Structure 1
Amino acid sequence: MVTLPRLVVAAPSTGQGKTTVATGLMAALSGQGLTVSGHKVGPDYIDPGYHALATGRPGRNLDPHLVGEEQIAPLLLHGARGADIAVLEGVMGLFDGRLGTDGFASTAHVAALTRTPVVLVVDVARMSRSAAAIVAGMATFDPSITVAGVILNRARPGRNTDEIARAMPVPVLGVVPHEESVESPSRHLGLVPAAERLGTSSVIERMAEHIAKHVDLDAVRELAGTAPDLDADPWDPSARVTPVAGSPVVAVAGGRAFTFRYAETTELLSAAGARVVEFDPLHDAALPPGTQALYLGGGFPEVHVGQLAANRPLLGQIRAAVDAGLPTVAECAGLLYLLRELEGTPMAGVLPAGAAMGGRLTLRYPRVTAAGDDLLSRRGESVTGHEFHRTALDAPLRGWQPAWEVDGELIGATSPTLHASYLHVHWAGHPVLAQRFADAAARATPVLPAPAAPAEGVASDLDPAAESTPTTPAAAPADLLLHHGDREATPGLLDFAVNVHPEPRPDWLEAALTEGVAASTRYPDPEPARLALAELHHRRPDEVLVTAGAAEAFELIARMKQWQRPVVVHPQFTEPHAALERAGHQVEAVHCRASDGYRLDPAAVPDDADLVVIGNPTNPTGVLHAAETIAALRRPKRVVVVDEAFMDTIPGESESLAGDRRRGLLVIRSLTKHWSMPGIRAGYVLGNARTIAALAARQIPWSVGSPAITAAVACSSEAARAEAEARAARISGWRAEMAGALQARGYPVSDSATAFLLVRLGAGARERLRRLGVAVRRTDTFPGLADADAWVRVAVRPPATAALLYAALDQLAPR
């Protein structure tokens, strides 16, 4: 017999607020010093993610359909080992289960199997005494369970709530008013997963405070203590599988795009002798070293499809590995990842079909039969699972054996080394699947060589699905001033050429861009962005002009007047120079000297120059000039333009002139790079009102689209300021690590302050890196850079990605 205080948080129907109450209870009880175990009735993956944050322990699922009735109490005790109390969040309404089964796998069913008292959460926002009748009916509907208390949710203090409470047939444990800040946002398949939501921890804290304030936690604990002892042994994964030899590495997809898997899945694999290593398909350019099997679980790849597609080295490596026989399991999101394309965007290309979002939700809770012998199953075997998706395949998976027969339909694709379908299976209910997967992993050849020889992994990062051969030399620029790094980053190459921030956009920015697209049915109005940016930089609104990226700002300045002697300080981004030439001006270049570390000498600028353009920090050297050194360029009847496109990569933006309101200064800023949205042309100019008005008079109407406007507003918020600073700090750490690693290999590196490094690799190194699958930015297109063909500009990347660059460099011919 095992003693475990516990309670079930249920509701009369979905939408009553039980996830908020249950998660808040978990967090509030944890705040009292208790060790809390969180559980979710049903197959849901998302709520356990919130439970894990609230409790500091893995969230667990209890589903009789998926694992069998006899496993429910053991799995509860397994998940609650060492816990002081367990909180079980229900699913749908208390008695709602699998259709046609009289409530099988319902919350009430699990409460009965685990002999756990039930607390009902009832939304009383639009009710009075009828709420008590609902609770009374639920309390007497099924004598096998005990409804021991109720929490009135979204209640307004006053006579009506008092009357509801007096009428209740069970104790009222709490009266919780509506609080929007603790609610979780939803999208097409339910709540946004905790791993994808910015600031989730702070939301959990607010939930805890809200519940602790309005719920009697002592009464809750007392009620949980009435739960009888359980006559069961905790589930033990090591008793379900037999360890294999060699500790094969099983790579498990994680991160924001792959958040769905049951905790017991990896526990079974570990018990079977595998070494489970998580990787992030959004960021990691290669599978973990020594990978012998691949598990691609569920999640939301359709939300992150652009960034998944941009990681071509990993997609190419996975396609080559799966084609070569790497044991691979792909459930739902994993299936989509292996397709030819998703939402019209290229994916791994293992399976010959595409998929797109549809209007119909597929929701099934079936028992399926294996269609043949494959990696996981044997013909005729039966398992239980669930499907929950809005995407649909655009073609049959021809050439592949189907995985399952369900309701007369054949679904999925299998082979002796691959199992892919929309079906999710809880392996605790079918541990033989884990055993077979581990056995196959133990027999498989590792995908990557040992860490002592990482260089071979770089060549394998090429995308075999690329339409062109990325190892061919990049074409020589037709116009040096118009060359851009995106022309170097051919699909299939590891991209160190483009200085766009490599991390995903925050949820609040994705929401703003979605809002902008929705607003595109009417003509755009940049006024909200202008006001937000003015507040961000402590300027007046008439001192801000919102532009279609920095490029439009350069064009407007070039055409603002007939400049008599325009000067561009080089080396720097060449677009300002090109824009002036397009406007018919003869541009004079002032070159910073290599002997001075490419730092600005104000005396080198002609006194009669009426326009001076300089980058800070500069491209491609990364030099950060002192603000007062640039301000010293000011003269009567002169405009000094400072391109601060990369200033937001500097922690604290210490040398920015964005807030300097002295006459004669124009500051150009870009939002595209730091916020990972180069396709959204979002920028702005800061300066005195008269100059801003002159630029605005030359701006094409509606040049700034709605997504750029909503993005600019979002990137001016408090959340954006905090995230921008955090990104800048991470960049600084990555840059220092990369500089040290490159210098240790004997390569001179510039003293950069921003998101790229100028590295002297020697003549021809850029082309040789390209043949090894790595793109870096050529620098012979930057005027004024000494010995330019010996240098390359390298974008700062996270350590795992940077390691692939080092491996490629180690393959180059001796210098």
Structure 2
Amino acid sequence: MGTSLPRLVVAAPASGHGKTTVAVGLMAALSARGLRVSGHKVGPDYIDPGYHALATRRPARNLDPYLVGADRIVPLLLHGASGADVAVIEGVMGLFDGRLGSGGEASTAHVAALTASPVLLVVDISHASRTHAAVVAGLAGFDPAVRIAGVVLNKAGSARHADEVVAALGPIGIPVLGVLPRDAEVETPSRHLGLIPAAERDESGAVLERLAQLFEQHVNLDAVTALARQAPDVAGAVWDPCAEVRAASPGRPVVAVAGGRAFTFGYTETFELLRAAGCEVVCVDPLTDSALPAGTAGIYLGGGFPEVYASELASNTAFLGAIREAVAAGVPTVAECGGLAYLCRSVGEVAGVGALAAGAKMSPRLTLGYRNATAPADSLLARAGDQVTGHEFHRTRVTFDRPADPAWQLPEGPDGVAGPSLHASYLHTHWAGYPRLAQRFADAVHAFTGPDLHHHGDVEARPGLLDFAVNVYAGPRPDWLDAALHASLDDAASYPDSAAARDALAARHGLLGAEVLPTAGASEAFDLVARLRRWRRPVVIHPQYTGPHAALTAAGHNVDVVLCHAADDFALHPSEVPDDADLVVVGNPTNPTGVLHPAETLRRLLRPGRVVLVDEAFLDAIPGDPETLSGERHPGLLVSRSLTKHWSIPGVRAGYLLGDPGLIAAAARLQIPWSVSAPALAAMISCSDERALTESDLRAKQLALWRSDLGAALIARGVPFVAGAAPYVLARVGDGVHTALRENGIAVRRADTFPGLDATWVRIAVRPPEWTDQLLSALDRALR
């Protein structure tokens, strides 16, 4: 049993005849008569449906057999037209023009045949008269599956001109249902990608009102509705987004969807699928909003014209920062076309979000057409090998600063960039055709809780597990250090005095006492720096130890994030740090990557008015203290050091700040009196003499050997890892391996709590060979 749905397809012999004017005019005029009109568009177009939605006050819909599959066209039509009195389907290009080389796939005729809809042909008669009858006759006889049931003549120069065409059409037997005169007032202006979207035109409502009046006057609307009612009942099930996806949790996490004038491209069904998958879809305007909605757990940046509004978008620095921080924090983010350009460091000559190390510029040529695409690797949206169909429609070109993991592989080459929490590409996909994309994205949104900035390896090192999670040197403390710690208890009756420790540390690094501040571990140093000033734009370079970021957040600061990327071996690029950053925090070597940044690269971060904090917590675990800035004097430079890990004293909070004496004095004023304990001060003194330096170097060389052995074993197993220098290794072992190792008695540090990393990475502390052998055996079992 079929479904009754009055409907018609508005088509034309070619582009430029006025399909959009007639389709939108009919929608507006019929709506003005009180009918419930459902608007649909053949093909991947986003702009025309915007006018449809404005005219009908219903969501716009697309019908594209190539993007969603021919079998979904009728279900999507029935879904979109539910409750409507009539459906008006605007065609694309010429009636029989579809995907090149396909025999007319995705053409207006294809959709008309699939939906058994009568065709109302629009003909621009401005440059001929009787010849148009021949064109209409040819179109009517070309394909018996397509029935041209009426004609509207557009742009008639005069009544006499129109009468000539009507007379020529008489013998064909196809009625003329309207004649529209030339009326420039209802023409829609265009730009480099076609028509200007309705949302960008303040006068769109007035244009539709004039159109409705024009059609009431010049088109036989009764005959048009009668033609629509001639359509037979539609056989097929109604598309139901709830049958395509499921909610991964009972909550309703927020997905922020870019809208407003700059972002007008998006398929209605995409957002219906997200709602069906348990997400709360909230529209945001990057031109005017200053923040993402509360609780945002996913971001969808569709296409549009960010290049047109680049200056206005760039001036909204608060929203740029919110998007940049969210992407860096791993908020699942999908960006298509204009969204991809917006995420770049620059759009044309002005600033973009800066989440991608890339620039977007206008191109002299329009890129347009259908594409077949394959996912080259697992990502936020797809699994390796997944194939989709899509459409490209842009005149910008994105150039990446360095190689990136592509989102799709197209016949023309790689497209975009993708990872576990980001999928950004030029390809537009219609998720109704591939609901698994919506499901995968929604699942990630439901699972997102944000990086746990307070997660540390000691949480993972539990009794019964061999500890590769905590970066504490696996060996006994020197006797002289134990003796000093025990002796410090004799002073427990007095408040601790840090003067001797400060002087010892100053001598150790060749500095003055005023350039040193003992602290209760590096954590107190981070807290002091976070509270040192009311930072305007603090930046943390990730992935790195999350303590500084957490301290800044706790102090009430909004933190910008600059990411180092695996594809670039997590190298630091100072040019990617915003010029107006007044605090920059970076690790060296960085935890968890182990990358040791060149000292000269770090010096390039320094500039007047900026404070740079370099966390050297693990530098003494590398032979010779390479690339250290601890003994250098630069305005605005601070260096934090820690004794915790290298000297196996995590229970004794012993750290210190070095650097700019003005900043050191300001930090000291914020420090709680006697925050550094007597044992910690004793450790600082003992670990600063020549005996300690000799022992430190021996430990560092031992760690380097253990690291080399672990690296060789990982290479033998084909496990990718970062070629760093620290006493730990960041390895990409794959999904589920962290848990499998725990089940096999091994604790390694999960890495998905570090911004910029995901659950495929783990950090492995280097250990003696007999420990490493047990790790490798467990890893072999986990990788099977």
3-state secondary structure, aligned to 2:156: coil
Unaligned runs of 5+ in 1: 450-454, 473-489, 492-815
Give the letter for the 1:367 counterpart.
N
3-state secondary structure, aligned to 1:365: strand
Q: Report what 2:246 is aligned to.
A: 242
Q: Report what 1:502 is aligned to.
A: none
Q: Report what 2:29 is aligned to.
A: 28
Summarize deviations over 1:695-747 as a string: whole Å, max 9, x none.
Answer: xxxxxxxxxxxxxxxxxxxxxxxxxxxxxxxxxxxxxxxxxxxxxxxxxxxxx
Summarize deviations over 1:534-589 as a string: whole Å, max 9, x none.
Answer: xxxxxxxxxxxxxxxxxxxxxxxxxxxxxxxxxxxxxxxxxxxxxxxxxxxxxxxx
3-state secondary structure, aligned to 1:361: strand
Q: Report what 1:226 is aligned to.
A: 230
Summarize deviations over 1:399-457 as a string: whole Å, max 9, x none.
Answer: 531111111411110001110000000000000000011100111125999xxxxx989
Q: Does 1:97 align with 2:101?
A: no
1:157 shift after superposition? 3.0
Q: Does 1:416 align with 2:417?
A: no
Q: Report what 2:320 is aligned to.
A: 315
Change (3 A) 1:385 1:379: same
Q: Report what 2:286 is aligned to.
A: 281
Q: Report what 1:469 is aligned to.
A: 581
Residue correspondence of structure 1 range 328-727 to structure 2 within 5 A? 328-393=333-398, 395-396=399-400, 398-445=402-449, 459-460=557-558, 465-469=577-581
Give the whole-Å Cα distance in 2 for the aligned partners of 1:71 and 1:108. 16
- Asked whether the equivalents of residues 290 and 447 of structure 1 are also in contact (C-alpha less than 8 Å), the reply is no
Q: Report what 1:61 is aligned to.
A: 62
Residue correspondence of structure 1 range 14-53 to structure 2 within 5 A? 14-53=15-54
Change (3 A) 1:408 1:194: closer
- Asked whether the equivalents of residues 381 and 423 of structure 2 are also in contact (C-alpha less than 8 Å), the reply is yes
Q: Does 1:107 align with 2:112?
A: no
- Asked whether the equivalents of residues 293 and 441 of structure 1 are also in contact (C-alpha less than 8 Å), the reply is yes
Question: Normalization by structure 2: what TM-score?
Answer: 0.58
Give the whole-Å Cα distance in 1 for the aligned partners of 2:181 and 2:359. 46
Change (3 A) 1:164 1:350: same
- Larger-gyration structure (1/2): 2
3-state secondary structure, aligned to 1:27: helix
Give the letter for the 1:468 counterpart.
D
Q: Report what 1:485 is aligned to.
A: none
Summarize deviations over 1:494-529 as a string: whole Å, max 9, x none.
Answer: xxxxxxxxxxxxxxxxxxxxxxxxxxxxxxxxxxxx
- Asked whether the equivalents of residues 14 and 94 of structure 2 are also in contact (C-alpha less than 8 Å), the reply is yes
Give the letter for the 2:262 counterpart.
A
Q: Report what 2:603 is aligned to.
A: none
Q: Report what 1:297 is aligned to.
A: 302
Change (3 A) 1:201 1:461: farther
Q: Report what 1:498 is aligned to.
A: none
- Asked whether the equivalents of residues 285 and 461 of structure 1 are also in contact (C-alpha less than 8 Å), the reply is no
**Bigger mean CA offset, 338-347 vs 296-305:** 338-347
Q: Report what 1:269 is aligned to.
A: 274
Q: Report what 1:142 is aligned to.
A: 143
Summarize deviations over 1:99-151 as a string: whole Å, max 9, x none.
Answer: 00010000000000000000100000111100000000000001111000100
- Asked whether the equivalents of residues 397 and 413 of structure 1 are also in contact (C-alpha less than 8 Å), the reply is no
3-state secondary structure, aligned to 1:354: strand
Q: Report what 2:262 is aligned to.
A: 257
1:469 shift after superposition? 3.1
- Asked whether the equivalents of residues 290 and 446 of structure 1 are also in contact (C-alpha less than 8 Å), the reply is no
Change (3 A) 1:220 1:419: same
Give the whole-Å Cα distance in 1 for the aligned partners of 2:14 and 2:409. 32
1:470 shift after superposition? 5.2
Give the whole-Å Cα distance in 1 for the aligned partners of 2:160 and 2:205. 35
Q: Report what 1:217 is aligned to.
A: 221
- Asked whether the equivalents of residues 329 and 450 of structure 2 are also in contact (C-alpha less than 8 Å), the reply is no
Percent identical across equivalent pairs? 59
Change (3 A) 1:82 1:244: same
Give the whole-Å Cα distance in 1 for the aligned partners of 2:40 and 2:241. 18
Give the whole-Å Cα distance in 2 for the aligned partners of 1:288 and 1:400. 29
3-state secondary structure, aligned to 1:128: coil
Q: Does 1:324 align with 2:329?
A: yes
- Asked whether the equivalents of residues 324 and 560 of structure 2 are also in contact (C-alpha less than 8 Å), the reply is no
1:324 shift after superposition? 1.8
Give the whole-Å Cα distance in 2 for the aligned partners of 1:356 and 1:142. 44
- Asked whether the equivalents of residues 321 and 447 of structure 1 are also in contact (C-alpha less than 8 Å), the reply is no
Give the whole-Å Cα distance in 1 for the aligned partners of 2:372 and 2:131. 39
Give the whole-Å Cα distance in 1 for the aligned partners of 2:317 and 2:400. 25
1:317 shift after superposition? 2.0
1:471 shift after superposition? 8.0
- Asked whether the equivalents of residues 262 and 287 of structure 2 are also in contact (C-alpha less than 8 Å), the reply is yes
Pick from 176, 179, 182 the counterpart of residue 175 of structure 1: 179
3-state secondary structure, aligned to 1:113: helix
Q: Report what 1:73 is aligned to.
A: 74
Change (3 A) 1:399 1:290: farther
Give the letter for the 2:100 counterpart.
L
- Asked whether the equivalents of residues 371 and 410 of structure 2 are also in contact (C-alpha less than 8 Å), the reply is yes
1:364 shift after superposition? 2.1
- Asked whether the equivalents of residues 412 and 420 of structure 1 are also in contact (C-alpha less than 8 Å), the reply is yes
Give the letter for the 1:251 counterpart.
A
Change (3 A) 1:309 1:240: same
Q: How many residues are paired up? A: 468
1:35 shift after superposition? 0.2
Q: Report what 1:166 is aligned to.
A: 167
Give the whole-Å Cα distance in 1 for the aligned partners of 2:206 and 2:452. 39
Give the whole-Å Cα distance in 2 for the aligned partners of 1:384 and 1:461. 38
1:318 shift after superposition? 1.4
- Asked whether the equivalents of residues 376 and 436 of structure 1 are also in contact (C-alpha less than 8 Å), the reply is yes
Change (3 A) 1:49 1:457: farther
Give the whole-Å Cα distance in 2 for the aligned partners of 1:325 and 1:158. 64
1:320 shift after superposition? 1.8
1:344 shift after superposition? 1.6
3-state secondary structure, aligned to 1:150: strand
Give the whole-Å Cα distance in 1 for the aligned partners of 2:81 and 2:405. 40
- Asked whether the equivalents of residues 291 and 447 of structure 1 are also in contact (C-alpha less than 8 Å), the reply is no
Change (3 A) 1:440 1:213: same
- Asked whether the equivalents of residues 8 and 88 of structure 2 are also in contact (C-alpha less than 8 Å), the reply is yes
1:211 shift after superposition? 1.2
Give the whole-Å Cα distance in 2 for the aligned partners of 1:397 and 1:80. 46
Give the whole-Å Cα distance in 2 for the aligned partners of 1:312 and 1:370. 33
Give the whole-Å Cα distance in 1 for the aligned partners of 2:335 and 2:222. 45
Q: Report what 2:772 is aligned to.
A: none
Give the whole-Å Cα distance in 1 for the aligned partners of 2:556 and 2:199. 30
